[in-house]
């Protein structure tokens, strides 16, 4: 059997030069040495974890520096290797990625602090994006979590539950937001049993053998569809099934009064047609074969979902009147539905690679914000290396996300100071602000905050704001509150 290292090297063959491969070797050695004393709770050598993450990233074709950074992603946090050593031993790019990952990992999410606070969760996801400043960092983070979730079983119950809630509430939605539904679904199903044990058991019980039976039934329909398409000179690339993943069945059950019979897409047939025109042609044939269920047809090709998902969905009364969902899409749409932004990378940045030359040009849907932005940037660059270098994204150019000591997230404009923060907590806290600590260290009041920092304000009773604050505060709201307080002072 091939070792993890051999698989990674194989993946990179042809896309990296000798010097880069030497650097990868060095990273392997560096990680093995740094983690040599560590074992995962399961008993396996720790270094297997970063190697698995690196293999995943190498398959995404995100460039050799991303792979090297994946190999090294835990050495700073777990082995107390200073970041400066990564800089001196490797290169600027690897240092940038490892540094970004270390920063993202520093922010701690307090799962389920406020069960229904969706803004809080959204803010947390935004904070991760804001701190990452590069999509590759997010993708390594997702790969890291995926491997952690797969190997979570030996941990104690409460730890498993917390990690799983964070996965469900923060990381899986991030994956979906980047259009990576395959990773999102995997994360959800890995987390579901630990986060909501009872609900997981109940869902399994409700589904019972239903999925299996439905799969067998749909299997019988495949030759019927094939024959009918052929009669009309249509040649599908492939016809397959997709079983709805467990966590999404659970969510749907809650909407449908726990009635499994009302979930029509438990198993769906998926028809991959060579091009757009043939997708619509196939849809016409299907509707001639079987009567569509009214109100269930959705054209996500003409109107893609916000995350860029494209496909035709229809639900029909098939053989014996049974209800079946059918999805029709092109190979490009299929790949993108599973890999999202990474699919775009594979198609987009490897254009000159022989392996990819045969593939059709990938056309991201117009309203897929991330992909669209990337495409714009790519036009400006000639080589894939330059393209990857251009992915240092400032997701929220004008916003920063900082934390209170209790872990509440405060969303501020870029350039905001400790005083702006204090007034966002409460007008009194602002007026009486006497000092500020950032990540436990004293700073001056005009200190400009950065995403991910934890801010603590000390106050003095009956203190008034200083007019000198007006010279450095960022928000007009802050300025107004200071002026109001100072006017109050004058009138005393
Ligand atoms: Mn890790």
10 Å Cβ neighbour count for 349?
A: 23
Which helix (H) or strand (E) is 231 found in, with range?
Answer: helix 210-231
- For each of the chain's 492 residues, which pLDDT tens digit applies? 689 999 999 988 888 889 999 999 999 999 999 999 999 888 899 999 999 999 999 887 778 999 999 999 999 988 888 999 999 999 999 999 999 898 888 776 655 455 566 777 777 777 777 677 777 888 899 999 999 999 999 999 999 999 999 899 889 988 887 777 888 999 999 999 999 999 999 999 998 888 888 889 999 999 999 999 999 999 999 999 888 899 999 999 998 888 888 888 888 999 999 999 999 999 999 999 999 998 889 999 888 776 678 899 999 999 988 899 999 999 888 887 777 666 655 554 444 444 433 333 434 333 344 444 444 444 444 344 544 444 444 555 577 888 888 777 788 888 999 999 999 999 999 999 999 999 889 999 999 998 878 899 999 998 889 999 999 999 888 999 999 999 875 444
Report CA(50)–ligand 1 centroid distance (Å): 6
Report CA(141)–ligand 1 centroid distance (Å): 8
Predicted local confidence at residue 363, as pLDDT: 41
CA pair distance 393, 133, nearest whole angstrom: 5
Q: Residue 73: CB partners within 8 Å, gap ≥ 6?
A: 50, 53, 98, 101, 140, 144
Predicted local confidence at residue 357, as pLDDT: 38
Q: Are 452 and 400 in contact (CB under 8 A)?
A: no
10 Å Cβ neighbour count for 427?
A: 15
Predicted local confidence at residue 52, as pLDDT: 97
Report CA(117)–ligand 1 centroid distance (Å): 28
CA pair distance 88, 94, nearest whole angstrom: 10
Report CA(47)–ligand 1 centroid distance (Å): 10
Is 281 in a helix, a strand, or coil? helix
Tell me the sheet residues that pair with 45. Answer: 39
Report CA(401)–ligand 1 centroid distance (Å): 24
Q: Are 78 and 38 in contact (CB under 8 A)?
A: yes
Report CA(248)–ligand 1 centroid distance (Å): 26
Q: Are 222 and 272 in contact (CB under 8 A)?
A: no
CA pair distance 305, 220, nearest whole angstrom: 31
Predicted local confidence at residue 463, as pLDDT: 87
Report CA(198)–ligand 1 centroid distance (Å): 29
CA pair distance 330, 305, nearest whole angstrom: 16
For residue 130, which of 414, 422, 420 has the smallest C-alpha distance? 414
CA pair distance 444, 42, nearest whole angstrom: 47
CA pair distance 142, 171, nearest whole angstrom: 7
216: tokens are 């067998």
235: tokens are 């040649």
For residue 305, give the DSSP letter: -
Report CA(144)–ligand 1 centroid distance (Å): 5
Burial class (CB in 10 A: 0-12, 13-18, 19+), 4: middle
Which helix (H) or strand (E) is 268 found in, with range?
Answer: strand 267-272
Report CA(73)–ligand 1 centroid distance (Å): 6
CA angle 369, 307, 123 (to 5 degrees): 80
């Amino acid at each position: 059997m091939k070792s993890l290292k051999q698989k990674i090297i194989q993946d990179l063959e042809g896309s990296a030069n000798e010097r880069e491969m030497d650097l990868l070797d060095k990273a392997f050695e560096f990680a093995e040495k740094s983690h040599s004393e560590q074992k995962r709770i399961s008993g396996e050598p720790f270094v297997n974890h970063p190697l698995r993450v690196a293999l995943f990233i190498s398959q995404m074709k995100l460039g050799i520096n991303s792979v090297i950074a994946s190999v090294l992603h835990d050495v700073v946090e777990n082995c107390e290797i200073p970041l400066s050593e990564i800089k001196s031993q490797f290169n600027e790019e690897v240092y940038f990625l490892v540094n970004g990952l270390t920063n993202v990992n520093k922010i701690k999410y307090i799962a389920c602090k406020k069960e229904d606070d969706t803004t809080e969760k959204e803010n947390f996801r935004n904070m991760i994006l804001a701190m990452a400043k590069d999509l590759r960092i997010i993708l390594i983070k997702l790969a890291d979590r995926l491997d952690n979730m797969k190997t979570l079983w030996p941990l104690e119950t409460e730890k498993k539950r917390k990690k799983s809630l964070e996965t469900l509430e923060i990381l899986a939605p991030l994956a979906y937001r980047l259009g990576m539904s395959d990773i999102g679904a995997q994360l959800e199903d890995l987390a579901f049993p630990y986060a909501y044990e009872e609900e997981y058991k109940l869902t399994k019980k409700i589904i019972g053998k239903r999925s299996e039976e439905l799969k067998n039934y749909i299997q019988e329909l495949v030759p019927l569809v094939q024959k009918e398409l052929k009669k009309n000179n249509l040649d599908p690339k492939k016809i397959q099934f997709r079983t709805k993943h467990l966590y999404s069945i659970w969510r749907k059950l809650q909407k449908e009064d726990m009635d499994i019979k009302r979930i029509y897409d438990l198993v769906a047939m998926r028809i991959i047609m060579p091009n757009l025109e043939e997708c619509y042609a196939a849809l016409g044939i299907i509707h001639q074969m079987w009567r569509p269920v009214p109100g269930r047809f959705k054209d996500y090709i003409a109107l893609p979902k916000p995350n860029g998902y494209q496909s035709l969905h229809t639900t029909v009364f098939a053989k014996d009147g049974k209800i079946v969902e059918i999805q029709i899409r092109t190979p490009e749409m299929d790949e993108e539905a599973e890999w999202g932004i990474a699919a775009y990378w594979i198609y987009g940045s490897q254009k000159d690679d022989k392996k990819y030359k045969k593939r059709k040009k990938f056309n991201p849907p117009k309203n897929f914000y991330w992909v669209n932005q990337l495409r714009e940037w790519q036009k400006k660059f000639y080589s894939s290396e330059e393209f990857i270098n251009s992915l240092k994204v400032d997701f929220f150019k004008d916003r920063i996300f900082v934390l209170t000591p209790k872990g509440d997230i405060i969303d501020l404009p870029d350039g905001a100071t400790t005083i702006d923060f204090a007034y966002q907590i409460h007008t009194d806290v602002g007026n009486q602000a006497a000092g500020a600590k950032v990540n436990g260290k004293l700073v001056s009041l005009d200190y400009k905050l950065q995403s991910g920092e934890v801010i603590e304000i000390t106050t003095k009773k009956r203190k008034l704001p200083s007019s000198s604050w007006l010279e450095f505060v960022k928000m007009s709201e802050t300025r107004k509150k200071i002026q109001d307080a100072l006017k109050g002072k004058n009138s005393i």
